[in-house]
Amino acid sequence: MTDYKKYIAEKINIEGVGADEIASYLEIPPTPEVGDYALPCFKFSRLLRKPPVAIAQALAADFVCDEVVSLVEAVNGYLNFRLNRLSFTLSAVDAVLDKGEAYGDSDEGNGKTVCIDYSSINIAKPFHIGHLSTTVIGAALYRIYNALGYKAVGINHLGDYGTQFGKLIYAVKHWSDIETVREKGLKELTRLYVYYHEQAELHPEMDDEARSYFKAIENGDKECNEMFEFFKEITLKETQKIYDMLDVTFDSYAGESFYNDKMAPVIKELEDKGLLTESQGAKVVDLSDYDMPPCIILRSDGASLYATRDLAAAIYRKNTYDFYKCLYVVAYQQDLHFKQIFKVLELMGKPWYKDMVHVSYGMVSMEDGAMSTRKGKVILLADVIEKTIEKALDVINAKNPDLENKEQTARDVGTGAVIFGALSNNKIKDIVFSYDKVLNFDGETGPYCQYTVARCNSVLKKGEAADLSKAKKVESVSAEEFNLAVLLADFPKTLKEAAEKYEPSFVTRYAVDVAKAFNKFYFEHKIVTDDASVTAFRLKLTAAAKICIKKSLALLGIKSPEKM
C-alpha cells in the first residue's frame, strides 16, 4: 500500500528537513473530526525561527491536494490532513491481507544481532512475582526484534555464583539429603537456605565451613560440584515449567559461573590500562570523576564480584556475537550497577559501550501488599499464574459454560492475562498486580483482546461463503471503518517504535486500540449484509483486524483461542 505518511511528507517542502523526518512527526489526531493526520509545526519553529501558527499557515497555502489527500487545514499550529478515506481504507486492508501473518515483519535488522539478557534467575532461589517483568519484557523484545529481521540472542545470565552455594551444601549435608531435595525441589532448597541463616546467627562459625565448600566448588572438588550442578538442575527444571507456560525461550544459559575463567584477562586489561586502584585492600575502578561510587573489581580477599563477571560477560558477548546492541532487562534497582559497567567499558576503550542498554523496569507488587522476600515469604510466579488460570475458568464457566476445550482456553486466557497485565504500562512504572483487573473482559486487558479475536473468528465463519473479490466495488466507508484501517496501517510503525524504545507496552496499547476500534465498527455496522460488496469489504476488514490483534498478542507471548 501507499505509505500515507510518507506520501504526505513528500508533498511538503521544508528546507533542511527530509521527508522521512516529516513523516515521523505525522500524528493521528485524537478525534477524527480534526483530520486523518496532523503535523505539529512547533517541531520546526526552532529551525525556521517562526511561530508554529505561521508555519502551519504557510505550509497549508503551499500544499496541493490530489486524489489521495483531499483537504488540508492549518489549525492552531497544526497542519491537518484529510485523506480520501475510501482508497486509503481499501489499500490498508489489502496491505494486511497480502502479507497475512507476516504483516509488520521487516528486514531492517538483517545482518544485525541483538543480545537480550532477561529473566536471569538466581539458582536455588524461588521464581517469584518480581521476575515476571524481566521475563515477559525480554521475551517480547526477543520476538519483536526477530520480526524486524534482527537475529535476537536470548541470554539467561544465571545467578549461579557465590557463597550461598557453600551454605546450601552445608545445609543439605547437615539437615537434609539429596533425595529429599530431589523430591521437594526448590521449596526444600529455600527452606534450607532460610534455616541456615537462622542457625548462622547463633553459630557464626558455620560460615567458615560454608565458605570452604564454596572454595571447593571453585577449585573443582568433585562432590561439591556435583551438588552445585544438582542445585542448578533442580532450579532449571522448575523454572522451565514457567517458561513453558509463558512460551519463553533462551539461546544461552551462560550464567555468572560461566565467567569464572574469563575474568582474569579482563582484570589484567584493567590493570594494563592503569584503571585499577587500591582502596582498603580492594581493587577498584575509580569513577569519582563521573559522580559514581567506585566499581569494585576484586575484594580484599581476592574474590571477584557481580560487576567483574558482568564486565567479562559483556566482552565475551561482543566477541561471540558481535552484537549490534546488547540489552539488559533488569529492574531499576540496578541502574547504578549498569551505569558503572558501561562507564568502565568506555574507559577501557571499547567503542561499543554505546551499544549497551539497560532496559530498566519498575517493581511488581500484589494488590494485598504481599511482597516480602525476607523470611522465605514469597509470592511465587507459578502460583499467581495458576490462580489466574483458575479464575479465568470461573469467568468462562459463567459466561460460556458450553464452550468446548474450556480448560485449554482458560490456560491461554489466564497466562495471557498475566503477561498482558505486566506489559500494559510504560515499563518503568511500578505495577500493582490485581487478578480482577487483568482478567476484566471489558477492560484494556489480554482477555479483552483475545475475546475480540474470537469475535472476528465467528464473524468470518458466518461470512465464509462470501465472494471477497467483490470488496473493491464498495462505494464509501464509514468513520468506524476508516478509523480501524488507520490503525491497521500503523502496525509496522508500532513494532519499529516498540523495538526502538524497548517498550513492549506500545504493542499491548496497540492491540487494545485495534480491538476497541474493531468493536466499535462491529457494534455500529452489520457485517454480513444483503449487499455483496459491502459484505465482502467488511469481512476483509475483519480478517485484517484479526491479523493485527492476533499477531500483536503472539509477539507478546499470548495465544489467541479460536473461540471464547
State the residues that interact with ligand ARG by CB under 6 A. 117, 120, 122, 157, 159, 310, 313, 328, 330
Alpha-carbon span 527 to 380, nearest angstrom: 45
Tell me 79's DSSP state: E
Closest to ligand ARG by CB, 310 vs 481, is: 310
Nearest alpha carbon to residue 76 among 116, 40, 122: 40
Q: How far is the CB of 147 from ligand ARG (least distance, A)?
A: 24
Identity of the amino acid at 172: V
Q: In whole angstroms, how close is the CB of 159 to ligand ARG at the nearest point?
A: 4
Owner of C-alpha cell 490530489: 66
* Residues ≥6 apart with Cβ < 8 Å to 522: 455, 459
Nearest residue (CB) to ligand ARG, 126 versus 416: 126
Backbone angles phi, psi at 295, to 5 degrees: -90, 115
Minimum CB distance to ligand ARG, residue 545 (Å):
38
Spacing of C-alpha 422 from chain mean position: 9
CB of 57 to ligand ARG, least distance (A): 53
Instruction: Tell which residue, 342, 509, 358, 338, has the closest CA to residue 428.
Output: 358
Phi/psi at 423 (5° precision): -110, 10
Smallest gap, in angstroms, from Cβ of residue 157 to ligand ARG? 4
**Between 11 and 128, whose beta carbon lies closer to ligand ARG?**
128
CB 219 within 8 A of CB 104: no
Least distance CB 239 / ligand ARG (angstroms): 12
160 or 412, CB closer to ligand ARG?
Answer: 160
Torsion of CA 28, 32, 37, 40, to 10 degrees: -70
335 or 394, CB closer to ligand ARG?
A: 335
H or E stretch covering 361: strand 356-361
Give dist(CA 564, CA 561) in Å, integer: 7
Query: Least Å distance between CB 125 and ligand ARG?
Result: 8
Closer residue to ligand ARG in complex, CB, 188/310: 310
From the list 172, 175, 231, 171, the residue with the least C-alpha distance to 207 is: 171
Using an 8 Å Cβ cutoff, are 108 and 149 in contact?
yes
As given in the structure block, the three cell numbers for residue 105 are 515483519
**Of residues 2 and 122, the one with the C-beta less far from ligand ARG:** 122
**Max intra-chain CA distance, the chain:** 86
When the beta carbons of 127 and 448 are compared against ligand ARG, the nearer one is 127
Nearer to ligand ARG, 130 or 504 (CB): 130
- For helices 406-422 and 381-399, give the axis angle rounded to 10 degrees: 120
Nearer to ligand ARG, 42 or 316 (CB): 316
* Residue closer to ligand ARG, measured from CB, 337 or 406: 337
Q: CB 144 → ligand ARG: shortest distance, Å?
A: 20
H runs (alpha helix) in 100-163: 132-147
Minimum CB separation of residue 120 from ligand ARG in Å reads 4
| Cβ–Cβ < 8 Å for 217, 166 | yes
Vertex 337: Cα angle to 315 and 355 (nearest 5): 45
Q: Rounded to a whole number, what is the distance in angstroms from the first to the last CA of the chain?
A: 33
The distance of closest approach from Cβ of residue 160 to ligand ARG in the complex, given in angstroms and rounded to an integer, is 9
Give min distance, CB of 310 to ligand ARG, in A: 5
Helix (H, G, I), strand (E, B) or coil at 49: coil
**Any alpha helices (H) in 49-130, and if so which ranges?**
52-62, 85-99
